[in-house]
């Protein structure tokens, strides 16, 4: 099975539970299980090749210019984690079928679970750093949905927010670190990056990248001081807890450290940070876990401790430690998933997880007791279970590790952590299952149905089998995985067996077991001492930090974002000018090798007119109509400037845009007061004048510098001029750029134009029946209104000009590929002709003769442009690549046809539809109360009302 399909199956399958739940809970869980099982089988098909040392790859270019490719690869490390994710996922799906209540929306649960599973599979199979980051963030989002699944519980919502906040913060740090790492290596492909150890570790950015990457890994894997979020996630349903703690969420950080181990490990920075973080987490998590009364709380802190154990081993940077870490990842997944599921069974049957209210359950739940006992003894490191083997390997590695010149600190703390682990494991076992049967259980417990204990029982069998036959069952997988972790051609060999002789690890293990039992015997006074000693509450600290950050954000927002555009513009412009100046000059002066040209009298006059027009607009901006007229004059001058500079296309477009915008703005001004109220104080005006003047000078200086600077690289214009005919089939370079070279930009522009028109329509639709519209229409005009609403001369002239204007528009459209014109200008010309009909004869008369809705015109334009672009795929060319050819049909001369004409037609329709829909939307607001019959409510679209012949 392709790696792409393996990674995609959970995401595709996430669509099924919401549908299959309609057929029943069994059908929903069965199909969900089939999806995970199919992905697992597809993964295991590659297992023989991977165990032989081969690497399975699959890659498709996505954004090669950015180094972002959809590339996956499967080695020993990916096989191990993928098998755990999908294998335990199948067991969790079976378990959840019987655990979830009929009141729980099972379809939602399985959808979230598959999304989370897909994100985790994507992480462990990704060969591209950027793709890995995408999946990494998906795990945070999907785990948020899973942890907060019981959203009616406040602790569930709080736990989900805390997990998302902590892991999301780490994710942001990880993004920065991974980008640094890719920049150092010169590649974002992991298969290439992992071969550049010396280059990466010699770079000055190695330490910053290491810190950021470890921050991301530590937050995800709940390492000190970020361990507090994991126990809070216990408010999730037990299937979620079992999955997150054994094979997925928290293991993602371990996977990341293992994946980057070949290039990041072996340095003093790696050793001290990773080892100390793991060591502290292991001891602290185990100590806190001893005094937890909640079964899931105890198991959560035990997970924190074991994650610290694995992290510490990776920090040692030795072959034996890597093998121990890999082996313990397997063992921890088996016994921890089993323990969480048995804790869920106890909660499900006894209606409590409080250890102080339990005891004696072995008589009432014998099957569950056996499963829990096997897993608990493995967690405590008691032979012959698998946890004993990896615990011994950890102690052996710790016995040979020094912190500085100290040779006893690491072994002592490792033994202490193992001692605490024994204490909480036996407390879980003895205080829950042993003792007399009580008569005050919240609910009389008994063993659950077969389907509920099958999954933990299967894992308990694995615990025993791996303990007894570890070398045969998992030895090759451990060797292959350790080789993948170490990289650089390493060939480690694990010696997995119960008896290694009399070694320091054996003495340390004995001390840990005896000490743990003694501590458990002294639990009552130890518990009293633990609760008597004051200690910080992580949740209180977290809430205080979040509250402080929120308050600071509120203050900054209130100070900078006061709702006034002038303040936003001032901040943006000042920052943009300063940053741009620094970036442009690099702190150095700018030399200008070219001499300025002598200006003729015409450009000087145009420049003077622009200055005068701009000044008049600013000075008289409160007089809306006058400001609009002057803006129109400025637009005309700019059009003439384009024409003077041999840019007739731009001149024609600018002039058409000016006409359309002036007409529409005049219509909009009908609903506004004639004068803008005074709002700015003299001090604010002075400030704005200084900022605006500075920005203007900066932009002018930039333009002046660019025009007088010789650039080493040739201008893109030279490429367009040289290739517009050969590649685009057109002699009008501007049009070829719009419909071919940069067709995607144009496609986006017409889409945005259509969306803007639809938004205007939506806003006016909401105003049609509102009091706002009535207040606008009942205003008394500032000046007398002309008696003749539709002057006869204008009516006759516009109707005569309409066919002529449409013919001109068609002519401009057809000639646009080789001469000034094109779909955009043609659309504006036709829109102007239609606008004139509305202006001359009135909205009612024109709307009666409208045959095609403007919404459909916009949609047709965008669809035609898209279809034209998609057609390039059939020619094995990129989207919107045009093609052309020459044809001759007697008696016509040979002429050219280009696929760009179809794209231009889409532009034409989108422009006409957007302009006319905007006009129609504004015109509908102009209906006065008397224009609408009383029998029609005010929110009825007036354009759909019966028309009167009097209008």
The yes-or-no verdict on residue 530 having pLDDT over 90 is: no
Beta bridge partners of 322: none
Beta bridge partners of 294: 354
First to last CA, the chain: 71
The yes-or-no verdict on residue 920 having pLDDT over 90 is: no
For the beta carbon of residue 472, count every other beta carbon within 10 angstroms: 11
| Tokens matching residue 432 | 């829950």
Q: Which residue has the higher pLDDT, 729 or 949?
A: 729
Q: Strand, coil or helix: what is 335?
A: helix
Q: pLDDT tens digits for 824-858?
A: 899 999 998 888 888 888 777 877 787 788 888 99
Tokens 């001090």 — which residue? 683
The yes-or-no verdict on residue 804 having pLDDT over 60 is: yes
Distance CA 375, CA 460 (A): 6
Cα pseudo-dihedral 208, 212, 214, 216, rounded to 10:
-170
Residue 776, pLDDT score: 60
Tokens 């959840």 — which residue? 96
Distance CA 74, CA 76 (A): 7
Residue 310, pLDDT score: 94
The yes-or-no verdict on residue 787 having pLDDT over 60 is: no
Distance CA 243, CA 252 (A): 12
**912 CB-contact burial (10 Å; exposed 0-12 / middle 13-18 / buried 19+):** buried
Q: What is the mean pLDDT of residues 878-905?
A: 79
**What is the average pLDDT score of the chain?**
85
896's enclosing H/E stretch is: strand 895-898
- Residue 570 CA to its chain's centroid (Å): 31
The yes-or-no verdict on residue 403 having pLDDT over 80 is: yes
Helix axes 76-99, 470-486, angle to 10 degrees: 120
Among candidates 222, 377, 236, which has minimal Cα distance to 296? 236
Distance CA 139, CA 252 (A): 9
Cα pseudo-dihedral 667, 673, 675, 677, rounded to 10:
-130
Distance CA 457, CA 558 (A): 58
Residue 937, pLDDT score: 41
Distance CA 644, CA 607 (A): 12
> Where residue 950 falls among pLDDT bands split at 50, 70, 90?
very low
- Residue 726 CA to its chain's centroid (Å): 41
Whether the bond between 475 and the residue before it is cis, its omega within 30 degrees of 0, is no
Q: Which residue has the higher pLDDT, 273 or 531?
A: 273
684's enclosing H/E stretch is: helix 682-707
> Where residue 774 falls among pLDDT bands split at 50, 70, 90?
low
For the beta carbon of residue 387, count every other beta carbon within 10 angstroms: 28
Among candidates 177, 166, 184, which has minimal Cα distance to 225? 166
Residue 211, pLDDT score: 95
Residue 930, pLDDT score: 41
Q: Which residue has the higher pLDDT, 923 or 601?
A: 601
Q: Which residue has the higher pLDDT, 272 or 232?
A: 272
Residue 307, pLDDT score: 94
Residue 389, pLDDT score: 92
**From 165-174, 218-227, 574-583, the region with the lowest mean pLDDT:** 574-583
Q: pLDDT tens digits for 7-55?
A: 999 999 999 998 888 888 899 999 999 999 999 999 999 999 999 888 9
Among candidates 361, 332, 360, which has minimal Cα distance to 348? 361
Distance CA 473, CA 753 (A): 64
Beta bridge partners of 896: 886
With beta carbons less than 8 A apart as the criterion, state whether 465 and 330 touch. no
The yes-or-no verdict on residue 586 having pLDDT over 70 is: no
With beta carbons less than 8 A apart as the criterion, state whether 437 and 360 touch. yes
272 Cβ contact partners less than 8 Å away, ≥ 6 residues apart: none
With beta carbons less than 8 A apart as the criterion, state whether 323 and 393 touch. yes
73 φ, ψ (degrees, to nearest 5): -150, 150
> Where residue 781 falls among pLDDT bands split at 50, 70, 90?
low
Q: pLDDT tens digits for 380-399?
A: 999 999 989 999 999 999 99
5 Cβ contact partners less than 8 Å away, ≥ 6 residues apart: 42
Q: What is the mean pLDDT of residues 184-203?
A: 90
Q: pLDDT tens digits for 414-458?
A: 999 999 999 999 999 999 999 888 888 888 888 898 889 999 999
**From 318-322, 717-721, 818-822, 890-894, the region with the lowest mean pLDDT:** 890-894
Q: What is the mean pLDDT of residues 195-207?
A: 91
Residue 779, pLDDT score: 58
Q: Strand, coil or helix: what is 469?
A: coil
Q: How many CA atoms lie within 13 A of 693 on its CB side?
A: 7
Q: pLDDT tens digits for 70-91?
A: 889 999 999 999 999 999 999 9
The yes-or-no verdict on residue 623 having pLDDT over 70 is: yes
Distance CA 864, CA 357 (A): 70
Q: Which residue has the higher pLDDT, 933 or 685?
A: 685
Q: What is the mean pLDDT of residues 126-150?
A: 91
Q: pLDDT tens digits for 752-764?
A: 999 999 998 888 8
How far is CA 473 from each of CA 47, 84, 174, 759, rounded to the nearest angstrom?
14, 15, 35, 64
Helix axes 470-486, 450-468, angle to 10 degrees: 80
Distance CA 729, CA 882 (A): 9
108 Cβ contact partners less than 8 Å away, ≥ 6 residues apart: 17, 18, 149
| Tokens matching residue 43 | 């993964």
**From 293-297, 771-775, 890-894, the region with the lowest mean pLDDT:** 771-775
The yes-or-no verdict on residue 533 having pLDDT over 60 is: yes
Distance CA 220, CA 229 (A): 10
Distance CA 791, CA 802 (A): 17
The 10 Å CB-count burial string (b at 16+, else e) for 864-874 is bbbebbebbee
The yes-or-no verdict on residue 928 having pLDDT over 50 is: no
Q: What is the residue-wise DSSP string for 726-790? A: HHHS-S-HHHHIIIIITHHHHHHHHHHHHHHHHHHHHHHHHHTTSHHHHHHHTPPPSSPPPS-SS
89 Cβ contact partners less than 8 Å away, ≥ 6 residues apart: 36, 40, 113, 117, 243, 247, 248
The yes-or-no verdict on residue 595 having pLDDT over 50 is: yes
| Tokens matching residue 531 | 């609760």
Q: pLDDT tens digits for 230-249?
A: 888 888 889 998 998 887 88
Question: What percentage of the chain exceeds 70 in pLDDT?
Answer: 93
């Amino acid at each position: 099975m392709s790696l792409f399909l393996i990674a995609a199956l959970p995401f595709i399958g996430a669509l099924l539970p919401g549908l299959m739940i309609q057929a029943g809970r069994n059908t929903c869980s069965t199909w969900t299980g089939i999806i995970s099982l199919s992905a697992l089988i597809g993964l295991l098909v590659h297992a023989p090749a991977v165990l032989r040392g081969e690497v399975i790859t699959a890659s498709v270019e996505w954004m090669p210019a950015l180094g972002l490719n959809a590339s996956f690869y499967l080695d020993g490390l990916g096989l191990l984690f993928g098998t755990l994710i999908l294998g335990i996922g199948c067991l969790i799906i079976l378990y959840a079928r019987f655990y979830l209540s009929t009141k729980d929306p099972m379809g939602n649960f399985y959808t979230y679970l598959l999304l989370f599973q897909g994100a985790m599979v994507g992480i462990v199979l990704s060969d591209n750093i950027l793709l890995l980051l995408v999946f990494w963030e998906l795990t945070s989002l999907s785990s948020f949905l899973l942890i907060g699944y019981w959203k009616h519980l406040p602790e569930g919502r709080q736990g989900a927010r805390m997990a998302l906040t902590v892991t999301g913060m780490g994710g942001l740090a990880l993004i920065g670190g991974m980008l640094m790492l890719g920049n150092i290596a010169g590649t974002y492909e992991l298969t290439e990056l992992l071969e550049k150890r010396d280059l990466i570790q010699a770079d000055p950015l190695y330490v910053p990248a290491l810190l950021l990457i470890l921050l991301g890994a530590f937050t995800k894997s709940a390492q000190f001081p970020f361990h507090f979020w994991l126990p809070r996630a216990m408010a999730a349903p037990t299937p979620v807890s079992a999955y997150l703690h054994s094979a997925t969420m928290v293991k993602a950080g371990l996977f990341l450290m293992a994946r980057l181990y070949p290039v990041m490990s072996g340095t003093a920075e790696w050793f001290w940070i990773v080892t100390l973080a793991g060591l502290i987490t292991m001891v602290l998590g185990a100590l806190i876990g001893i005094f937890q009364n909640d079964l899931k709380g105890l198991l959560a802190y035990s997970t924190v401790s074991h994650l610290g154990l694995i992290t510490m081993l990776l920090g040692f940077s030795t072959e034996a430690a890597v093998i121990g870490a890999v082996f313990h990842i397997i063992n921890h997944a088996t016994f921890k998933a089993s323990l969480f599921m048995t804790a869920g069974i106890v909660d499900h049957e006894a209606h409590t997880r409080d250890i102080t209210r339990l005891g004696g359950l072995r008589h009432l739940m014998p099957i569950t007791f056996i499963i829990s006992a096997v897993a608990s003894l493995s967690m405590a490191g008691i032979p012959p279970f698998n946890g004993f083997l990896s615990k011994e390997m950890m102690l052996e590695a710790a016995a040979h590790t020094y912190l500085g010149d100290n040779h006893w600190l690491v072994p002592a703390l490792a033994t202490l952590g193992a001692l605490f682990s024994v204490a909480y494991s036996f407390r879980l076992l003895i205080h829950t299952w042993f003792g007399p049967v009580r008569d005050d259980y919240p609910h009389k417990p008994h063993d659950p149905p077969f389907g509920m204990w099958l999954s933990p029982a299967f894992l308990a069998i694995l615990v025993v089998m791996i303990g007894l036959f570890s070398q045969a069952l998992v030895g090759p997988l451990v060797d292959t995985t350790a080789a993948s972790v170490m990289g650089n051609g390493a060939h480690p060999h694990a010696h997995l067996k119960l008896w290694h002789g009399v070694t320091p690890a054996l003495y340390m293990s004995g001390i840990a077991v005896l000490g743990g039992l003694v501590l458990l015997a002294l639990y009552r006074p130890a518990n009293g001492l633990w609760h008597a000693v004051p200690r910080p509450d992580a949740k209180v600290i977290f809430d205080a930090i979040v509250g402080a950050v929120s308050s600071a954000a509120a203050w900054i927002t209130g100070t900078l974002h006061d709702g006034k555009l002038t303040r936003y513009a001032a901040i943006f412009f000042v920052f943009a000018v300063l940053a741009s100046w620094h970036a442009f000059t690099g702190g150095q002066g700018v030399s200008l090798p070219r001499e300025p040209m002598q200006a003729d009298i015409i450009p000087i006059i145009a420049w003077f007119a622009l200055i005068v027009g701009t000044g008049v607009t600013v000075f008289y901006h409160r007089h809306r109509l006058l400001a609009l007229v002057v803006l129109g004059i400025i637009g005309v001058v700019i059009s003439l400037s384009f024409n003077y500079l041999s840019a007739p296309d731009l001149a024609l477009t600018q002039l058409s845009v000016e006409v359309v915008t002036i007409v529409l703005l005049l219509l909009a001004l009908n609903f506004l007061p004639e004068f803008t109220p005074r709002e700015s104080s003299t001090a604010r005006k002075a400030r704005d004048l200084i900022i605006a003047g500075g920005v203007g000078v900066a932009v002018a200086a930039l333009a002046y510098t660019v025009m007088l600077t010789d650039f080493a690289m040739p201008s893109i214009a030279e490429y367009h001029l040289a290739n517009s005919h050969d590649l685009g089939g057109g002699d009008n370079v501007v049009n070829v750029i719009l419909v071919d070279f940069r067709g995607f930009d144009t496609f986006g522009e017409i889409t945005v134009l259509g969306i803007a028109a639809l938004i205007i329509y939506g806003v006016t639709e909401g105003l049609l029946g509102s009091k706002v519209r009535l207040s606008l229409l009942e205003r008394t005009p500032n000046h007398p209104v002309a008696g003749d609403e539709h002057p006869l001369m204008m009516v006759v002239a516009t109707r005569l000009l309409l066919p002529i204007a449409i013919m001109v528009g068609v002519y401009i459209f057809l000639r646009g590929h080789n001469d000034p014109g094109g779909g955009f200008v043609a659309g504006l010309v036709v829109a102007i002709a239609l606008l004139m009909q509305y202006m001359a004869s009135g909205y009612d008369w024109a709307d009666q003769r409208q045959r095609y809705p403007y919404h459909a015109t916009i949609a047709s334009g965008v669809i035609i442009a898209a279809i034209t672009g998609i057609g390039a795929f059939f020619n094995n060319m990129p989207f919107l690549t045009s093609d052309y050819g020459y044809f001759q049909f007697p008696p016509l001369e040979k002429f050219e046809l280009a696929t760009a004409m179809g794209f231009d037609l889409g532009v034409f329709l989108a422009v006409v539809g957007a302009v006319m829909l905007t006009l129609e939307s504004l015109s509908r607001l102009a209906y006065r109360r008397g224009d609408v019959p009383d029998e029609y409510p005010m929110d009825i679209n007036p354009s759909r009302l019966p028309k009167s012949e009097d209008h």
